[in-house]
Amino acid sequence: MATTDESTGSWFGADGQVSQVRGLLFKLSCLGATLLALGLVLVFLLYVFNDAVQPLTADTGWLLTFVVTLVLPAVAVGVYYYTRDTRAGEVAYTALGLPVATTLLAGGVVITFEHIVSPHAWFALALSATVAFGLVELHARTRTAGALERLAVVVLVPLLALVGVPGIAVDFPVETPLLGQELFRLSFAIPELVPSLREVILALPVLPTAAISLLLTFTLPIAAAAAWHVRRVRESDRDGAIAGGATIVAAGLGLVAAPLVDLSATTWVVLATVVALPVGLYVESVVRRDVGVSGLAFPVVVAAGALIGAFLVDALGFAGPDLWLDWDFLTSPASTTPRDAGIYPALVGSVMMLVVVAVAAFPVGVGAAVYLEEYAPNDGLLGSIVDLIEINIANLAGVPSVVYGVLGLTLFVRTAGMQSGIVMVGGLTIGLLILPIVIVSAQEAIRGVPDSLRQASYGMGATKWQTVRNVVLPRALPGIMTGTILAFGRAIGETAPLLMIGAAAVVRIPPDTFFSLFSAMPRQIFAWSKEIETEFRYGVLAAGVVTLLIVMLMMNASAILVRNKYQRQN
């Protein structure tokens, strides 16, 4: 091979022939930019977190106690995982994160059943939807009739089950555009002809209690899904039945046991379904794979440490930190005294607003994206128009949010005549704001479906509709979901449009319908920032910011989970 004679000593660049200086400088300045950006964000987050929790206000003894009971054991176990058993470390990571994440999710579900759909309304909705689905399925099985009849059944049966034939009352003056002179008045009313199945169920004289309703229509389907999953992975009917049965028993136990631990029965049912079941399934999967089982000890160590620490500081009389972000903050309404102030109505308002955003923006955005990608003409004059539209959708994504606020005010309040400051107006306005983002990300997801799959489908004699429904949408859905959830993460933090449409600064009771006045978390934070008392501007505001960030991070995390899950499958 090559020799390293003195005579060839110059070619390999030891004498600095090849200049590395500029490259090195460039690399260092890029590193500097990265550190600056990350550092600023990190410092800000630590600053806010410090204000919200104030860890240094605790007694030294309190801090020491928790260091000894909680931090040291957790670190020791963590070091063990890191050095000896990395697989167990991964398990430990998930085993701790899963209960925390599902508990936060359960909080959202409890709020949903508390304020958005009552358990009874949900019961009626789920039952009538099931009946409608059963009828449609029955029709498909018994009558392999023409497409038109199928379509009629598919549209009409769910409609009758869920909506019925509603009464309509119209009283609308038709005016000349500028002068406002009334030409004639469109006015008619028909009574409700057929009540929906949902309304019939709700009007029944005897309904199951709230907890039993949830048990039947919330826990039961989820338990069935879990049973199906367990049956498949363990290849045993018996194990599947056990999993499903155990879930229902665990949730049903709440009917009796919930008062003993000072929980409402519905909360118990939700906790059993949303927290205990996923944790149980996860433990089962770890034990079944028999990889990193020792990682399951980590959450136990953490929980035991926290409990022992809490018991010790109580017994020894050490005072904890002066928390702003505590349980009371999350569950109390706004108040004029900083210590009593809470974010609960704004939290509920944000969640309800997000429901409106999701219902409004998701179907419209995905529909537009499907049309633009799959159906819109590509060439000729129409093609150029479509190109122009697509460019402008991307531009719309960059329009300042305050402009959308003005648009929402004009469109929904001034033109459509809705009351300003209600959940519906806020949700629709912010839905408009994120619509371009949803469209663009859904377009990208649809574009990512390989053309060879479309070709395969067309080659099989599938129509365009069959191809879009069976091949393109299922394949694009994870991407669409990821993009949409990220857009929702932006929606929940928007403030300017809420100011424009007149969302209230302070609301003391959570909105109970979508047409109630509401406040949202960012709006509430903005209001606190203008309070005179410094405790509002530092402590309460910081707690609000941390709450908002946690909700947003959860949404982003779920987007990442969806993406990872489907990436692995494809």
Partner 1 sequence: MTRDTPLETDGGDPRADGSGTAVADSAAQTDSSDESLLDSSFDVEDRSHASEDTDAIVEARDIDVYYGDEQALQSVDVAIPEKRVTAMIGPSGCGKSTFLRSINRMNDLIDAARVEGELLFDGKNVYDDDVDPVALRRKIGMVFQSPNPFPKSIYDNVAYGLEVQGKTDDVDEKVHRALERAALLDEVEDQLDESGLELSGGQQQRLCIARAIAPDPEVLLMDEPASALDPVATSKVEDLIEELAEDYTVVIVTHNMQQAARISDKTAVFLTGGELVEFDDTAKIFENPESQRVEDYITGKFG
Q: Does 151 bind partner 1 (CB under 8 A)?
A: no
Q: Select the span of 180-188, 324-332, 342-350, 462-470 touching partner 1 (CB under 8 A).
A: 462-470
Residues whose CB is less than 8 angstroms from the CB of residue 49 and which lie 6 or more positions away in sequence, other chains included:
542, 546
Residues whose CB is less than 8 angstroms from the CB of residue 220 and which lie 6 or more positions away in sequence, other chains included:
248
Q: Select the span of 1-9, 166-174, 260-268, 454-462 touching partner 1 (CB under 8 A).
A: 454-462
Count the Cβ atoms, other than its own, within 10 Å of residue 172: 10
Q: Locate 196 and state its tokens.
A: 């929906």
Nearer to partner 1, 94 or 470 (CB): 470
Single residue of 453, 473, 499, 505 touching partner 1 by CB under 8 A: 453
Q: Locate 230 and state its tokens.
A: 């367990």
Single residue of 10, 50, 336, 455 touching partner 1 by CB under 8 A: 455
What's the longest Cα–Cα distance across the chain? 104
What are the angstrom distances between the C-alpha of 17 and each of 10, 11, 12, 25, 26?
9, 9, 9, 17, 19
Q: Does 28 bind partner 1 (CB under 8 A)?
A: no
CA distance 499 to 518: 12
Q: Does 144 bind partner 1 (CB under 8 A)?
A: yes
CA distance 132 to 499: 42
Nearer to partner 1, 194 or 460 (CB): 460
CB of 460 to partner 1, least distance (A): 4
CB 323 within 8 A of CB 504: no
Nearer to partner 1, 181 or 452 (CB): 452
Secondary structure element (H or E) that encloses residue 276, with its range: none
Single residue of 135, 364, 376, 462 touching partner 1 by CB under 8 A: 462
CA distance 549 to 189: 48
Count the Cβ atoms, other than its own, within 10 Å of residue 7: 8
Single residue of 10, 103, 384, 463 touching partner 1 by CB under 8 A: 463
**If binding means CB under 8 A, how many residues of this protein chain bind partner 1?**
24
Q: Does 466 bind partner 1 (CB under 8 A)?
A: yes
Q: Does 570 bind partner 1 (CB under 8 A)?
A: yes
Q: Select the span of 274-282, 435-443, 463-471, 528-536 touching partner 1 (CB under 8 A).
A: 463-471
CB of 491 to partner 1, least distance (A): 30
Place of tokens 């199906």: 228
Give residue 338's Cα distance to chain centre. 29
Q: Does 142 bind partner 1 (CB under 8 A)?
A: no
Q: Locate 82 and state its tokens.
A: 């890191």
Taking residues 374 to 403 in sequence order and writing x for each that binds partner 1 by CB under 8 A, - otherwise, the string is ---xxx------------------------
Q: Does 234 bind partner 1 (CB under 8 A)?
A: no
Taking residues 467 to 506 in sequence order and writing x for each that binds partner 1 by CB under 8 A, - otherwise, the string is ---xx--xx-------------------------------
CB of 471 to partner 1, least distance (A): 6
Per-residue DSSP letters for 49-109? HHHHH-GGGS-HHHHHHHIIIIIHHHHHHHHHHHHH-HHHHHHHHHHHHHHHHHHHHHHHH
Nearer to partner 1, 77 or 471 (CB): 471
N-to-C CA span, the chain:
46
Q: Does 235 bind partner 1 (CB under 8 A)?
A: no
Rule CB under 8 A: which residues touch partner 1?
144, 377-379, 450, 452-463, 466, 470-471, 474-475, 569-570
